[in-house]
Amino acid sequence: MTDEELDTFAGQLDQILSSVASVGEVAAADVPPTSHAVPLTNVFREDAPREGLSQQQALSGAPAAEQGRFRVPRILGEEQ
């Protein structure tokens, strides 16, 4: 984020947060939370083998690829 964005967002997020804080007005101490409208647990499907993506397809959108693999920037620091 740029400094300019930070300045704009800080005010806007403050306004949004103070508005959505109204959920706190509701007395809901003994109400169970809903994370999902349809209560489903342990959904299974047939374990049917099917073709996956080929290596070429999987790499087709890669920002950078090398030797049939995703090429990524370094993940370790200088001193590691």
Partner 1 sequence: MTDLTRLTAAELAEKIHSREVTSAQVTRAHLDRIAQVDGRVHAFLHVDTEGALAAAEAVDAELDKGAAPASPLAGVPLALKDVFVTKDVPTTCGSKMLEGWLPPYDSTVAARLRAAGVVILGKTNMDEFAMGSSTENSAYGPTRNPWDPDRIPGGSGGGSSASLAAFEAPLAIGTDTGGSIRQPGAVTGTVGAKPTYGGVSRYGLIAFSSSLDQGGPCARTVLDAALLHEAIAGHDPADATSIEAPVPRVVEAARAGAKGDLSGTRVGVVREFAGEGYQSGVSAAFDAAVEQLRALGAEVVEVSCPHFQYALAAYYLIAPSEASSNLARFDAMRYGLRTGDDGGASAEQVMAATREAGFGPEVKRRIMLGTFALSSGYYDAYYGQAQKVRTLIARDFAAAYEQVDVLVSPTTPTTAFKIGERVDDPMAMYLADLCTIPANLAGTAALSVPCGLSPDDGLPVGLQIMAPALADERMYRVGAAYESATEPLINRVPELGGEQ
Whichever of 5 and 68 has its CB closer to partner 1, that residue is: 5
CA dihedral angle for residue 4, residue 7, residue 8, residue 10, rounded to 10 degrees: 150
Please, what is the minimum distance in Å from the beta carbon of residue 3 to partner 1?
A: 12
Please, what is the minimum distance in Å from the beta carbon of residue 68 to partner 1?
A: 14
Site residues for partner 1 per CB under 8 A = 1-2, 5, 8-9, 12-13, 15-17, 19-26, 28, 31-38, 40, 43, 45-46, 53, 57-58, 60-64, 70, 72-75, 77
As a residue count, the chain comes to 80
Tokens of 80: 């590691």
What is the rounded CA–CA span in Å between residue 62 and residue 71? 8
Please, what is the minimum distance in Å from the beta carbon of residue 64 to partner 1?
A: 7
C-alpha torsion sign, points 23, 24, 25, 28: positive
